[in-house]
Amino acid sequence: MNNIQSVSDAYLCSNCGACKAICPEDAIHFKTSSLGRMYAEVNDSCIECKVCIKVCPSIDSHNLQTVFSDRYIGEIKTAYIGKATDFKIYKEAQSGGACTATLIYLFEHNLIDAAIVCRMKTANHPVVEAYVAESANQLLESQKSKYTVVEILSALKQTATKRSVAVVGLPCHIEGVESLIRQSKKFKNVKYKLGLICDRSLGETLEDVVMSYTNEKEPGIIEWRKKDFSADGKYYPYKTAPIRIKYNSGKNIVLPNIYRFALKEMFTSPRCRVCYDKLNTFSDIVFGDPWGMSDVDWNKGESLVFTRTSLGDKLMSDMISSGTVSMKTADIEELLKGQHVNERRRSVSVYASALNSLPLPKTDSYLYKQNDVSDISDNEKLSAINNLKGFLDNENLSKEELIGKARMIIEENMKRQKFNNLFVIRILRKIKRLIKP
């Protein structure tokens, strides 16, 4: 194995961008597949120095997965639920805006001079791009989660001369940053690692599916969760917030959130299926949604925040003291339950075993050797094999075929949702729950 090409050939590239950030020959670019997953590709200028292999989180040469006694949980110092106190940030945030409020605090206190974030950009269809913000006022356009892939770490090429950099990233991005820092002095200026919880990212073609429901010629921007206090005269609560496509002309198209939820399984890659690090163990501070937790404002939305390092812990305390965020402490056990950590252990083990038995090119990676639960049934494994095969079959379809297939899945889901919402069905279900021993 002389470079990371075999990682992509094995469908295990997570699009983090760490290899591209460190390659001395600029020999790596990204190829987008039918489903809109990105795979790192190596060209002829590669000199086989193998540095990319050393920083790839799918290979994990630095053995990050063995650092904590429980790699699914890592170390958690303090957990909070709360929000940004600046209404402008809170209103446009994915959850409670704590992530953007933290970056703004870092800029305003001269603790960073650059932040690597991402934004939705208009093109023929909207695409996500990483960018380097150099001041607090460049951060607002980065707000909200982009559920499709983005190779954030490539942007580190632009921050070499910066004094102190913050990176916001998914767990695979933050593992990539951690490996880059351990591998080369060049990346020691990354001082703050702000992580998001991540269940999975989805292929970019999902955006084409959503756009196929509009007849607009003008390119638009997608917001995956348009929580709002009043938009177009309508109130969108956080939990059921719809998708919004917004256009420069001021026009908005609003689609129900089932357009994303119905397609999650179809667009989930093999790499995400075997990812143990949902809770972003190498971050200083982690941000997410307080799913399954009590005392949450489920109407307007709040952030789940937890600190992992002394640096992150002090930063969050300072932010609370200064009134930048308003937070109440939260229960760590409740957090782990709400994020379904034990279910993750199981599904990662099942999918690692399923991936092993598929006739695919393999790479030398720990990802195949994950066996965190021992009682995997044949049925569980078979279903995982079928899901993986389904993904690979879909990768061979054209974009038009994928859009057609996705629209059929959406239709079926909407019919099922309608049926489930029927009054009689709801009553029958309630009775069943009551008589269940």
**Contacting positions for ligand FAD (CB under 6 A):** 93-100, 117-118, 142-147, 150, 152, 168-170, 173, 196-199, 201, 287-289, 291, 303-304
Q: Which residue lies nearer to ligand SF4 by CB, 104 or 335? A: 335
275 binds ligand SF4 (CB under 6 A): yes
Rounded to whole angstroms, how far apart are CA atoms 14 and 105? 30
Interface pattern 28-47 for ligand SF4 (x via CB under 6 A): x-----------x-x---xx
* Total binding residues toward ligand SF4, as defined by CB under 6 A: 41
What's the CA gap between 158 and 162, in Å, rounded?
A: 9
List the single partner that 94 binds among ligand FAD, ligand SF4, none, CB under 5 to 8 Å by kind: ligand FAD
Buried/exposed 283-306: b ≥16 CB within 10 Å, e otherwise: bbbbbbbbeebeebeeeebbbbbb
- 350 is written with which tokens? 């099942």
- Containing 342, the helix (H) or strand (E) segment is helix 341-356
SS3 104: helix
140 vs 392, beta carbon nearer ligand FAD: 140
Structure tokens at 52: 């990319």
Tell me which amino acid residue 23 is: C
**Long-range contact list for 239-243, CB < 8 A, 24+ apart?**
239/298, 239/299, 243/210
Q: Residue 280 in contact with residue 196, Cβ under 8 Å? A: yes
- Smallest gap from Cβ 160 to ligand SF4, in A, equals 16
Phi, psi of 269 (to 5 degrees): -80, 160
The partner in contact with residue 403, picked from ligand FAD, ligand SF4, none with C-beta cut-offs of 5 to 8 angstroms by kind, is: none
198 binding ligand SF4? (CB under 6 A): yes
Which of 9, 32, 41, 49 is close enough to bind ligand SF4 by CB under 6 A? 49
Are 208 and 399 in contact by the 8 Å Cβ rule? The answer is yes
The site partner of 23 among ligand SF4, ligand FAD, none (C-beta below 5 to 8 Å per kind) is ligand SF4
289 binding partner (options ligand SF4, ligand FAD, none; Cβ < 5 to 8 Å by kind): ligand FAD
Please, are residues 54 and 183 in contact by the beta-carbon 8 Å criterion?
yes
From the list 257, 200, 223, the residue with the least C-alpha distance to 417 is 257
Owner of token pair 């670019």: 29
- 406 binds, options ligand SF4, ligand FAD, none, Cβ within 5 to 8 A by partner type: none
Nearer to ligand SF4, 45 or 299 (CB): 45
Least distance to ligand FAD from the beta carbon of 49, Å?
28
CB of 1 to ligand FAD, least distance (A): 27
Closer of 236 and 287 to ligand SF4 (Cβ): 287
Judged by CB under 6 A, which stretch of 18-26, 121-129, 288-296, 419-427 contacts ligand SF4? Answer: 18-26
Instruction: Output 171 or 220, the one with its CB closest to ligand SF4.
Output: 171
Q: Residue 253 and residue 214: Cα distance in Å, rounded? A: 8
**Shortest Cβ 108–ligand FAD spacing (Å):** 15
User: Can you tell me the distance from the alpha carbon of 218 to that of 436, in angstroms, rounded to the nearest whole number?
Assistant: 54
- Residues of this chain, 317-346, that bind ligand SF4 according to CB under 6 A: none
Is 237 in contact with 230 (CB distance < 8 Å)?
A: no
Give 49 or 140: the residue with its C-beta nearer to ligand FAD. Answer: 140
* Partner whose binding site includes residue 144, from ligand SF4, ligand FAD, none (CB under 5 to 8 Å by kind): ligand FAD
Q: From CA 141, how far away is CA 151, in angstroms rounded?
A: 18
Inter-residue contact 366 to 60 (CB < 8 Å): yes
Minimum distance from residue 395 beta carbon to ligand SF4 (Å)? 16
CA distance 299 to 238: 5
User: Read out DSSP for 362-377?
Assistant: --S-GGGG--S-S---
CA distances from 383 to 135, 278, 386, 388, 422 (A): 48, 22, 5, 9, 30
> For ligand SF4, what does the binding mask look like between residues 281 and 320, x meaning CB under 6 A?
----------------------------------------
**Rule CB under 6 A: is residue 181 a binding residue for ligand SF4?**
no
- Identify the sign of the CA torsion 237, 129, 367, 264: positive
Please, what is the minimum distance in Å from the beta carbon of residue 403 to ligand FAD?
Answer: 21
From residue 127 to residue 156, the character string flagging contacts with ligand SF4 as x (rule: CB under 6 A) and all else as - is: ------------------------x-----
Q: How far is the CB of 301 from ligand FAD (least distance, A)?
A: 7
Distance CA 176, CA 16 (A): 7
- The contact set with ligand SF4 (CB under 6 A) reads 3-4, 7-8, 13-19, 23-25, 27-28, 40, 42, 46-52, 55-58, 151, 170-172, 176, 198, 200-201, 271-272, 275, 277
